[in-house]
């Protein structure tokens, strides 16, 4: 019943010339053979441990046999895996196929290559506890470290020093040097070329770039401070930053503190590029996404990263002395961090800020075309940020928009689309279409200032009514029906009626609010105040949601 069946004993006996082994003997021998085998293996494991190995070799078994004063007969290590063959006539008996070799063949075979001489090489595994990124150290270490850092930072109040101390001699291979030179040259000279795009791909995927990271960060920091006027270069640099951040083989955290100032600069600098025609807005949008990405990826490692960034941005946003471009960058940056940031930081300051902005936006008070354009840009950014935020809220509280409202929203969407062509005509500045559209639409609201005043008044009224809890659903519905009719008329008749429609819509929003009030006072209030501030433009965001719902 043991590990060794009696058959095995018989076969072994036969192999050494005992042909008539009685079954009794075999039965008596089997357990003992098993015991001896285990004994030898136990000793072999000891030898293996003392040879500081984790795999058992034939040598260990030999040593174990000699420890037990048995002639080592176990055999030799072989390169090939052993081939087991089934013994004929026995069900569960296997043996190792051992081919006979001709002496001649063995002797005449060419000598194998002499194995390489054992040698010792020295390297720094760690310098003051930090592993330098050299080929001798495992590359995966860079990927493991973040989680570890996280752990230690959680656990210890005295945290590890995060700055990496580079080895005294930081040797770059010739290839890496060439690579670095080539890339920097590309960045400076031909940022638009396809070659540069290839370079970006390489930067985001190549695994051997870690030694270059300090050089790149230094280069980026230098270039950003040196050439704030060169829009193309700045954009190229930001793209490089993005590629580096996306490279999973690079352990970039130690260099973040060097990178962040440059990135933030590209977001909230007063002037980026020399000419007005250059689309620095796009650069700011791109950088805003980059900042948000950094916060998302490294926020858990450096707990104070996001707070610090948001603080910087909020300062830029709330400082009325700062240029509008800076405001724009700050708003975009904050918006990119997500709706909750917007809700907590932007929305509370929205009303006073818009008051300031209004004067900049209107033709009467601000004669400078460029300034006005900037103001509209900022307005657009704010609208988008607030809209996204409320969109998220609506997603959370679907009850906010009950079914009857949908139709109106649809219609308002229609309005938006019909508005599209005639607004698009008048676009002066380049830029992304949707934001311009939004801007224009809002402009529409504001162009008829009187009506917008009425609008806000009526809205305030309806909110007041809602807060008293006298929401009349029927009334709201009938209003809706009317409004839809009007809206469809409007499509035909044109802009003169639009104002009326808007007014009606604001009423409807009031009724919507009245419904929402019960479900989520907070969100409802938020929505109300937002609509109050932005007018119809806000509705876009529900519309888009409804769209997705219908799709």
Q: Which residues bind another protein (CB under 8 A)?
A: 1-2, 31-32, 34-35, 37-39, 42, 46-47, 49-54, 57, 59, 63, 66-67, 115-131, 136-138, 140-141, 144, 148, 151-152, 155-156, 158, 160-161
Q: Tell me whether residue 158 or residue 321 sits nearer to another protein (CB atom).
A: 158
Pairwise CA distance, residues 33 & 35, whole Å: 5
Tell the smallest beta-carbon distance from residue 251 to another protein (Å).
Answer: 13
237 and 187 in contact (C-beta within 8 Å)?
A: yes
Tell the smallest beta-carbon distance from residue 166 to another protein (Å).
Answer: 13
Tell the smallest beta-carbon distance from residue 123 to another protein (Å).
Answer: 6
Tell the smallest beta-carbon distance from residue 46 to another protein (Å).
Answer: 6
Q: Tell me whether residue 42 or residue 189 sits nearer to another protein (CB atom).
A: 42
Q: Tell me whether residue 148 or residue 198 sits nearer to another protein (CB atom).
A: 148
150 and 305 in contact (C-beta within 8 Å)?
A: no
Q: Tell me whether residue 34 or residue 410 sits nearer to another protein (CB atom).
A: 34
38 and 51 in contact (C-beta within 8 Å)?
A: no
Residues 6 or more apart whose CB falls under 8 angstroms from that of 440 comprise 419, 423, 426, 427
Q: Tell me whether residue 12 or residue 45 sits nearer to another protein (CB atom).
A: 45
Tell the smallest beta-carbon distance from residue 139 to another protein (Å).
Answer: 8
Q: Tell me whether residue 100 or residue 155 sits nearer to another protein (CB atom).
A: 155
Pairwise CA distance, residues 271 & 365, whole Å: 23
Tell the smallest beta-carbon distance from residue 51 to another protein (Å).
Answer: 5
245-249 contact pairs (CB < 8 A, 24+): 245/290, 245/293, 245/294, 245/297, 246/204, 247/203, 247/204, 247/205, 247/206, 247/209, 248/143, 249/139, 249/142, 249/143, 249/206, 249/207, 249/208, 249/209, 249/210
Q: Tell me whether residue 135 or residue 430 sits nearer to another protein (CB atom).
A: 135
**For residues 477, 481, 483 and 488, what is the CA-based torsion angle, rounded to 10 degrees?**
150
> Residue 84 is inside which H or E element, if any?
strand 84-86
Q: Tell me whether residue 160 or residue 427 sits nearer to another protein (CB atom).
A: 160
Tell the smallest beta-carbon distance from residue 77 to another protein (Å).
Answer: 9
Q: Tell me whether residue 38 or residue 482 sits nearer to another protein (CB atom).
A: 38
Tell the smallest beta-carbon distance from residue 129 to another protein (Å).
Answer: 3
Q: Tell me whether residue 152 or residue 434 sits nearer to another protein (CB atom).
A: 152
**Inter-CA distances, 306 with 313, 333, 341, 348, 423, Å:** 10, 11, 10, 19, 38
371 and 447 in contact (C-beta within 8 Å)?
A: no
Pairwise CA distance, residues 551 & 94, whole Å: 66
Nearest partner of 260 among 309, 226, 300, judged by Cα: 309
Q: Tell me whether residue 148 or residue 185 sits nearer to another protein (CB atom).
A: 148
Pairwise CA distance, residues 240 & 231, whole Å: 14
Rg from Cα positions in the chain:
38
Q: Tell me whether residue 51 or residue 193 sits nearer to another protein (CB atom).
A: 51
Tell the smallest beta-carbon distance from residue 250 to another protein (Å).
Answer: 17
Q: Tell me whether residue 168 or residue 403 sits nearer to another protein (CB atom).
A: 168
Torsion-angle region of 431 (φ positive above 0: left; ψ -120 to 50: alpha; else: beta): left
Tell the smallest beta-carbon distance from residue 82 to another protein (Å).
Answer: 16
Tell the smallest beta-carbon distance from residue 56 to another protein (Å).
Answer: 11
**Inter-CA distances, 37 with 61, 90, 95, 510, Å:** 10, 22, 17, 89
Q: What is the DSSP letter of 477?
A: H
Tell the smallest beta-carbon distance from residue 72 to another protein (Å).
Answer: 11
Residues 6 or more apart whose CB falls under 8 angstroms from that of 77 comprise 57, 58, 59
Tell the smallest beta-carbon distance from residue 28 to another protein (Å).
Answer: 9
- The CA-based angle 85-87-88, given to 5 degrees, is 125
* 269: phi then psi, degrees, rounded to nearest 5: -70, 155
* 16: phi then psi, degrees, rounded to nearest 5: -105, 15
523 and 516 in contact (C-beta within 8 Å)?
A: yes
């Amino acid at each position: 019943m043991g590990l060794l069946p009696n058959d095995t004993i018989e076969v072994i006996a036969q192999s050494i010339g005992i042909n008539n082994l009685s079954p009794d003997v075999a039965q008596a021998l089997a357990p003992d053979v098993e015991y001896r085998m285990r004994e030898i293996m136990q000793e072999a494991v000891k030898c293996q441990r003392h040879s500081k190995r984790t795999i058992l070799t034939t040598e260990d078994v030999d040593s174990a046999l000699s420890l037990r004063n048995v002639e080592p007969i176990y055999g030799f290590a072989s390169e090939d895996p052993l081939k087991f063959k089934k013994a004929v006539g026995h069900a569960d008996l296997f043996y190792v196929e051992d081919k006979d070799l001709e002496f001649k063949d063995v002797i005449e075979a060419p000598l194998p290559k002499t194995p390489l001489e054992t040698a010792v090489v020295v390297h720094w595994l760690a310098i003051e506890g930090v592993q330098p990124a050299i080929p001798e150290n495992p590359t995966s270490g860079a990927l493991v470290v973040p989680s570890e850092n996280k752990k230690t930072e959680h656990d210890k109040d005295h945290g590890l020093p995060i700055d990496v101390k580079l080895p005294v001699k930081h040797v770059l291979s010739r290839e890496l040097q060439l690579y670095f030179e080539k890339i920097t040259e590309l960045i400076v000279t031909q940022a638009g070329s396809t070659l540069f795009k290839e370079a970006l791909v390489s930067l985001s995927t190549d695994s051997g770039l870690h030694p270059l990271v300090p050089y790149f960060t230094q280069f980026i920091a230098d270039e950003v401070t040196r050439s704030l006027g060169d829009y193309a270069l700045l954009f190229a640099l930001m793209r490089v930053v993005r590629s580096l951040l996306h490279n999973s083989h690079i352990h970039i955290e130690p260099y973040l503190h060097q990178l962040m100032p440059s990135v933030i600069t590209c977001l909230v600098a007063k002037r980026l590029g020399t000419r007005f025609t250059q689309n620095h807005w796009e650069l700011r949008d791109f950088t805003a996404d980059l900042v948000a990405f950094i916060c998302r990826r490294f926020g858990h490692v450096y707990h104070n990263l996001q707070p610090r960034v948001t603080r910087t941005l909020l300062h830029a946003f709330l400082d009325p002395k700062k240029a509008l471009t800076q405001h724009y960058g700050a708003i975009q940056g904050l918006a990119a961090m997500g709706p909750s940031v917007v809700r907590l930081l932007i929305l509370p300051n929205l009303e006073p800020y818009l008051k300031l902005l209004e004067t900049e936006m209107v033709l009467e008070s601000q004669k400078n075309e460029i300034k006005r354009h900037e103001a509209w840009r900022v307005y657009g950014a704010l609208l988008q940020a607030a809209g996204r935020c409320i969109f998220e809220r609506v997603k959370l509280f679907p009850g906010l928009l009950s079914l009857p409202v949908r139709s109106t929203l649809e219609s308002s969407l229609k309005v938006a689309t019909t508005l599209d062509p005639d607004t698009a005509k008048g676009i002066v500045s380049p830029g992304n279409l949707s934001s311009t559209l939004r801007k224009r639409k809002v402009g529409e609201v504001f162009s008829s200032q009187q009506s917008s005043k009425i609008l806000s008044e009526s809205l305030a009224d309806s909110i007041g009514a809602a807060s008293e809890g006298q929401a009349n659903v029927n009334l709201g519905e009938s209003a809706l029906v009317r409004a839809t009719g009007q809206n469809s008329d409007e499509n035909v008749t044109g802009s003169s009626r639009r104002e009326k429609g808007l007014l009606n819509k604001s009423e409807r929003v009031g009724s919507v609010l009245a419904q929402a009030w019960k479900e989520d006072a907070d969100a409802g209030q938020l929505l109300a105040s937002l609509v109050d501030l932005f007018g119809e433009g806000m509705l876009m965001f529900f519309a888009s949601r409804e769209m997705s719902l219908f799709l």
